[in-house]
Amino acid sequence: MYVDIWYWIIIGAIALVSFAVSAKLKSKFEHYSKVHLRNGMSGAEIAQKMLNDNGIYDVRVISTPGRLTDHYNPADKTVNLSEAVYNQRNAAAAAVAAHEVGHAVQHATAYSMLEFRSKMVPMVNVASNLSQVLLVIGILLGAAAQMGFGFYIAIAGLVLYAITTLFTFITLPVEYDASNRALAWLKNKNMLTQQEYSGAEDSLKWAARTYVVAALGSLAMLVYFGMKIFGGSRD
């Protein structure tokens, strides 16, 4: 089938680009992990100072297992830093720590896009689990004929998949804004030398690109499924 060929082309392209960007991100972090901070501060200390400078005293900075597992949890107000970031004193750790605190600052200041994204989470959890199941079932039942039970099942799946795609695009301004807040603070407070700052900036740029790839990949799959449902049979 013509469209099925495109399915594998899209899947392959997404996987290839995602792998390339992820590999580049890891190499960047390894490189900038060797750029040690002149101020001698660890990622945990940088995170705590940025919280304090923004008047945020109800958020804890904690260590979490794994690599690149760093995140901010608005539910329990914790900045979770991977073990390397929490303990290390380099440009990469500074970038990640400040970025995650950037999310805490967004939360504290009721940043609209973060609030919108948070409200979508329960819906997205359901949509991500059901969308492709409904799409596959609907397509197998003959959704391309644009009639019958299979068509409506596929439409339901497409709507759910569109919700997950929207979520990936809403994530972009949230992530970029957190990075911008982090870099502005690092620069304005003279936390890093120019070399260290350049490394932190480059690290965050590549981290953001992983979200761009995810969003574009989700959009490509949404278009594919739309073609499959509304494009008619191409057997």
Which residues participate in catalysis according to the annotation? 100
Asked if 138 contacts 229 with a C-beta cutoff of 8 angstroms, the reply is: yes
Asked if 70 contacts 100 with a C-beta cutoff of 8 angstroms, the reply is: yes
Structural Rg of the chain based on CA atoms: 21
* Residue 148 three-state SS: helix
Going by C-beta distance under 8 Å and a sequence separation of 6 or more, which residues neighbour residue 4? none
Q: How many angstroms separate the Cα of 148 from the Cα of each of 138, 154, 155, 161, 222?
A: 10, 10, 11, 20, 21
Residue 211 structure tokens: 């979200």
Going by C-beta distance under 8 Å and a sequence separation of 6 or more, which residues neighbour residue 128? 164
Residue 91 structure tokens: 């440009």
- Long-range contacts of residues 5-11, Cβ cutoff 8 Å, at least 24 apart: 6/224, 6/227, 7/224, 7/228, 10/220, 10/221, 10/224
Residue 29 structure tokens: 């972090």
Amino acid in the structure at residue 10: I
Amino acid in the structure at residue 11: I
Q: Are strands 60-64 and 71-73 parallel, antiparallel or unpaired?
A: unpaired
